[in-house]
């Protein structure tokens, strides 16, 4: 178990993709769901562009779910936090790091067709506007606190956010 966890962590920590003189380094990647059998999950990570040109993350895919989208949390005019799909992707400028974190931008995984088991790894491929695809093996970590790694510090474990809704108005939990 320890070897599998370390190997998966090393894969997620050190992967790089090269395209158009740009390199993306993925750090601290993990996937979680609110419960092992929940129909939705989310992936979080740090994406660093060590290249000299911008990279735009435009998609993510996996064979463990019916649908995968890049999502953001935004406050609407009534002060309610809403989750919605990010239109146009996420641009990462040269030398910059973008956090996909709980309570912020993240990879939303909907219609899971398997249980997310603590410590196991699942495949996820990130797609960039230039056609680059970055395949990852991400560890399931349902126990990680939001303040650890790509988490949102000071925002607990998202409990009490029962009024959070997706872009189509459905309640979401992860």
Residues 4-33: tens digit of each pLDDT: 333 344 454 444 444 444 589 999 999 999
List of long-range contacts for 117-124, beta carbons under 8 Å, 24+ apart: 117/36, 118/36, 118/142, 118/143, 119/1, 119/4, 119/5, 120/4, 121/4, 121/8, 121/11, 122/31, 122/62, 122/64, 123/62, 123/63, 123/64, 124/29, 124/31, 124/43, 124/60, 124/61, 124/62, 124/68
DSSP string for 22-81 = EEEEEEEEEEE-SSTT-SEEEEEEEEEE-SSS-EEEEEEE-TTEEEEEEEEEEE-TTS-E
Residues 36-84: tens digit of each pLDDT: 889 999 999 999 999 999 999 999 999 999 999 999 988 888 988 889 9
| Residue 132, token pair as written in the block | 């680059």
| Residue 59, token pair as written in the block | 């998609």
Q: How confident is the model at residue 94 (pLDDT cuts 50, 70, 90)?
A: very high
Query: What is the pLDDT, as a whole number, of residue 73?
Result: 87
Which whole number is the average pLDDT over 79-107? 95
Pick the range with the lowest mean pLDDT from 7-11, 101-105, 133-137: 7-11
Q: Is the pLDDT of residue 85 over 50?
A: yes
Q: How long a stretch of residues is the chain?
A: 174
- CATH of the structural domain 2-140, one choice from 3.30.200.20, 3.40.50.720, 3.40.50.920, 2.60.40.1890: 2.60.40.1890
């Amino acid at each position: 178990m320890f070897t599998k966890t370390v190997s998966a962590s090393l894969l997620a920590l050190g992967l790089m993709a090269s395209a158009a003189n740009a390199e993306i380094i993925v750090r601290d990647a993990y996937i979680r769901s609110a419960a092992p059998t929940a129909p939705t999950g989310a992936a979080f990570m740090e994406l660093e562009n060590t290249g000299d040109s911008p990279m735009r993350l435009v998609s993510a895919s996996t064979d463990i779910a019916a649908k995968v989208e890049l999502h953001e949390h935004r406050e609407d005019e009534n002060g309610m936090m809403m989750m919605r799909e990010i239109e146009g992707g996420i641009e990462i400028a040269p030398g910059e790091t973008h956090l996909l974190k709980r309570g912020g931008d993240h990879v939303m995984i909907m219609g899971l067709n398997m249980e997310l088991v603590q410590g196991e790894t699942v495949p996820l491929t990130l797609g960039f506007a230039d056609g680059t695809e970055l395949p990852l093996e991400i560890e399931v970590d349902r126990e990680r606190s939001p303040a650890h790694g790509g988490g949102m510090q000071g925002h607990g474990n998202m409990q009490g956010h029962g009024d959070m809704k997706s872009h189509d108005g459905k309640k979401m939990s992860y």
